[in-house]
Structure 1
Amino acid sequence: MTLFLLPSILLVISAVHAFQFEELAHYVDSHQEEYVEALRDWVAVESDSSDVLKRPELHRMMEMTAQKLRSMGGNVQLVDIGVQELPDGQTLALPKVVTGQFGSDPNKNTVCVYGHVDVQPAKIEDGWATEPYNLTDINGNLYGRGASDNKAPVLAWMHAVEAYQALNMELPVNVKFVVEGMEETGSNGLDAMILAQRDTFFSDVDFIIISDCGWLSRRPALTYGTRGNCYFFAEVEGPKQDLHSGVYGGTVIEPMTDLIGILDTLISPSGKILVPGIREAVAPLSDEEWRMYQDIEFDINDYKSKIGVNQLMYTNKVDLLAHRWRYPTVTIHGIEGAFSAPGSKTVIPAKVIAKFSIRQVPDMEPAVVKKQVTDYLHSVFAKRKSPNTLKVTMIIGAKPWLADTKHALYEAGRTAIKKVFDMEADLIREGGTIPIARTFQDVTGKSIIMLPIGGFDDGLHSQNEKMSRYNYIEGTKLFITYLNEVAQIKKSV
């Protein structure tokens, strides 16, 4: 009798879940103006973590985040993570990390949602078409600094929890929040906080979700990897002071000439990294990964048009995506100490510092990369037989992060995207670095997924950053659905 009725019971359960989603989706649709106003309030706060003069605004942003979670009935804490030492030796309080908890049922999975509410600098004179801290709705796009990175995604997760609450529906999983205010400047203090709370706040967490990323195209995406970042200073010093090129030019060996000479040995015109050992350490591209790249929606011509170039290093999709995501790159960012102001100045700089980075990938290790780069540049410099001195320093050594796309978290993501958007998800990697993902993985040992809702054309860190209404509202529905799908994952004992 029981076996005979089982298919009918499953049909009933399925129908109930479908009805619940429709009701939740309708609630989201009917409250979208409220969601836009919430984003407007958050964007209005100039929470620029790089500007110490705006630190009061950043503290206010963290309090607003905490208050939002409190208004939802969460168990909320503002965690003190210490102080930041400024270049002049003074100290400044770091913005507190906000944690929140909704539900503590030991029989349910517990997810931890990570986000940040600090932003990059923005001024209208930088080329913005609208006031960057006044959310502006134009043709369904919500323009404002931090709209996509990362205020709308953080709010969308809160809206998702609120929707269940408003309809008196039990949350399918326990939900925890970790929201910080220093991500854009390196997440100062957060690593130590995660380590300190590994056996308390994070002890019952099963999975960690990060939504601080975006889609590659108009197709929704799941992100399973990011590159790391080894950031270097190469300093060449010669005369005791800057010199007049007319008086001293031709008699001294100039630091700038030495610096340009060694920088030119880092990478070939075709993009090949010339530092010995770097390319040999890279994990080979597997046949399975090659096939995954084939299935990704990506238009090279659109990509060229978007960034305003007429030629790229690679002409086919797989090569281009692979070198954007899963191969290392060398980028020279600038030279400090050189004359760079408008006009002319006939100076020989006494000391110049090049700033360059290597985006690292599996199986490269920062400590090994540091030694490879330092040894190589010193060997190249020695061949110049220059009387000047070279100093190489690695100031950032962030590791890459890579997840298993066959993990149940990704299966749940595929299912949720199919239900909400009626299309298959793109499985993508990020060329940038999100160090906190690797920290979460190494410290907590938990499985992680990156579940973005930001659009491919949102302009993160750029002028006219935006979040479309469509991505904001449908993204909230995606988060609602994803919580339900994660609830189906068998809880580990």
Structure 2
Amino acid sequence: MMFPALASILLLISSARSFQYTELAQYVDSHQEEYVEALRDWVAIESDSSDILRRPDLHRMMDVVAQKLQLMGGTVQLVQVGEQELPGGQTLEFPKVVTAEFGNDTNKHTVCAYGHVDVQPAKLEDGWATDPYNLTEINGNLYGRGASDNKAPVLAWIHAIETYQALNMELPVNVKFLIEGMEETGSNGLDAMILAQRDTFFSDVDYIIISDCGWRSRRPALTYGTRGNCYFFAEVEGPKQDLHSGVYGGVVIEPMTDLIGILDTLISPSGKILIPGIREAVAPLSDEEWKMYQDIEFDMNYYKENIGVSQLMYNNKVDLLAHMWRYPTVSIHGIQGAFSASGTKTVIPAKVTAKFSIRQVPNMDPALVKKQVTDYLHSVFAKRKSPNKLEVTMVIGAKPWLADTQHPLYEAGKAAVKKVFNIDPDLIREGGTIPVAKTFQDVTGKSIIMLPIGGFDDGLHSQNEKISRYNYIEGTKLFIAFLNEVSQIKMSV
């Protein structure tokens, strides 16, 4: 039985919370033009981490982030994470990692929001309809390189803190930021930095939030898993130099022919991985997972139309989502050393290198996959009885990440989505790889949630990348609501 007085108090508290959110949301709506201009300023900085000539822009980008957080009153540090060694022996400093802290109340939970502000390469002549570094709004969409991946989500977290501050409302939890500038090229130096600060910066962190991902449909989503990635080079070397095909064609065993021959044995036309041991290691699909995939909102016809294909590998939603998220794939990305420019050149390449990857899933082990792939390709190559030499190397071995969807952190995420969008979120996995998630999990032992605000059709890494104004603004409200929901999680004694 609840006493009337206590019931009245609880009703007042509930009403206050509701009013507080409404006031915060109204502030966001009234400042959305300011937020769009902030994104415009950030997109204008060509923070391409793959281009060493853009390194000054990347350093400037990190300085801009640090200055913004300092102006908000955060305790900010720019952390050095090492140097990059260039082919000529010179070194180039990696961009510093920005950390910031807002609040240190030991009676509150502490969350750490991770993001990155470096981007993939982009040029107008690549097929962009607008200047990729000049944010352009068309029909409610904000087009620009890095708009969705990952500058708008980082800014949305910043706007969430600013909103509480502007209305003189106390943050419901302590908030930390970790913003890096090398995610698109492998997060160089970040793993070591996280390990070094495990007992300092991360010592009082309860939960880590990553918003470097997107929804699967028009329905908001919470992400609870990502695939890992084993990236390989397979090099076949033959003659000591390139040869004229008219003079030597038909008399030498060509490295390119060998390479294409062994690549063709990696995967069947139906998508079956042919490397022994790979498929056998995959965790079986449970009945619970099957039902979860069945309930996810996903339009296969729109998906085909959006990517411009007439046929997919699978014809039903569950199979497609399962092979997108929780089964491994083999993808061949390119061949280096071959003639690839326009025009004609009758050359037999002396050495060619294929680049391919295998997306990892539980229960696969990258070290074992390395051995399986290497042994298999050498056995296939041996059957060709070629005098050429094969070398197989694995250059990336990122593990998959998987979270417990029953954790209170995910309940908080569901409640926040319901508050902002008045709908229950889909629980999804991500086919791509976000290595820092597994690093956070292994090094800090903290609970992690991926809380995306990007759209399913944002075109990450592609031409005409965008984020909708709706997702950007409502995403800011989602982060505001999520902080409040996290504050309701019972603190451990």
Q: Which residue in 1 is equivalent to 2:50?
A: 50
For the residues of structure 2 that align with 1:191 and 1:87, how far apart are their CA atoms? 23
After TM superposition, list the pairs within 5 Å mapping 1:276-295 onto structure 2: 276-295=276-295
Q: Which residue in 1 is equivalent to 2:220?
A: 220
Q: Which residue in 1 is equivalent to 2:237?
A: 237
TM-aligned CA deviation for residue 2 of structure 1: 7.7
Give SS of 2:490's match. coil
For the residues of structure 2 that align with 1:277 and 1:252, how far apart are their CA atoms? 34
TM-aligned CA deviation for residue 87 of structure 1: 2.3
Letter in 1 for 2:359: R
Q: Which residue in 1 is equivalent to 2:479?
A: 479
Q: Which residue in 1 is equivalent to 2:321?
A: 321
Instruction: Render the CA deviation track for 1:57-99: whole Å, top value 9, x for unaligned.
Output: 1111101000110111000111111111122221101111000
Q: Which residue in 2 is equivalent to 1:258?
A: 258
Letter in 2 for 1:76: V
Give SS of 2:119's match. coil
After TM superposition, list the pairs within 5 Å mapping 1:387-406 onto structure 2: 387-406=387-406
Q: Which residue in 2 is equivalent to 1:177?
A: 177
Percentage of identical aligned residues: 83
For the residues of structure 1 that align with 2:253 and 2:349, how far apart are their CA atoms? 11
Letter in 2 for 1:153: P
Letter in 1 for 2:191: D
For the residues of structure 2 that align with 1:43 and 1:313, how far apart are their CA atoms? 36
Give SS of 1:99's match. strand
TM-aligned CA deviation for residue 256 of structure 1: 1.0
Q: Which residue in 1 is equivalent to 2:491?
A: 491
Instruction: Render the CA deviation track for 1:360-399: whole Å, top value 9, x for unaligned.
Output: 1000011000000000111111111111111000000000
For the residues of structure 2 that align with 1:197 and 1:234, how far apart are their CA atoms? 37
Q: Which residue in 2 is equivalent to 1:147?
A: 147
TM-score of the superposition, structure 1-length normalised?
0.99
For the residues of structure 1 that align with 2:492 and 2:133, how far apart are their CA atoms? 44
Q: Which residue in 1 is equivalent to 2:199?
A: 199
Q: Which residue in 2 is equivalent to 1:26?
A: 26
Give SS of 1:111's match. strand
For the residues of structure 2 that align with 1:415 and 1:333, how far apart are their CA atoms? 40
Letter in 1 for 2:267: I
Instruction: Render the CA deviation track for 1:325-363: whole Å, top value 9, x for unaligned.
Output: 100000011111111111222211111111100001000
Instruction: Render the CA deviation track for 1:228-281: whole Å, top value 9, x for unaligned.
Output: 000000011111111112211121111111111111111011000000000000
Unaligned runs of 5+ in 2: none
TM-aligned CA deviation for residue 4 of structure 1: 4.2
Unaligned runs of 5+ in 1: none
TM-aligned CA deviation for residue 467 of structure 1: 1.2
The range that moved more, 239-248 or 29-38, is 239-248
Q: Which residue in 1 is equivalent to 2:189?
A: 189
For the residues of structure 2 that align with 1:89 and 1:394, how far apart are their CA atoms? 23
After TM superposition, list the pairs within 5 Å mapping 1:283-362 onto structure 2: 283-362=283-362
Q: Which residue in 1 is equivalent to 2:426?
A: 426
Is residue 4 of structure 2 the alignment partner of residue 7 of structure 1? no
Report runs of 4+ in structure 1 exceeding 4 Å deviation. Answer: none
For the residues of structure 2 that align with 1:31 and 1:336, how far apart are their CA atoms? 49
For the residues of structure 1 that align with 2:327 and 2:368, how far apart are their CA atoms? 16
TM-aligned CA deviation for residue 408 of structure 1: 0.7
Aligned pairs, number: 493
TM-aligned CA deviation for residue 127 of structure 1: 1.1
Instruction: Render the CA deviation track for 1:421-445: whole Å, top value 9, x for unaligned.
Output: 0111011111000000000000000
Give SS of 2:394's match. strand
Closer, same or farther: CA 26–85 of 1 in aligned 2, 3 Å:
same
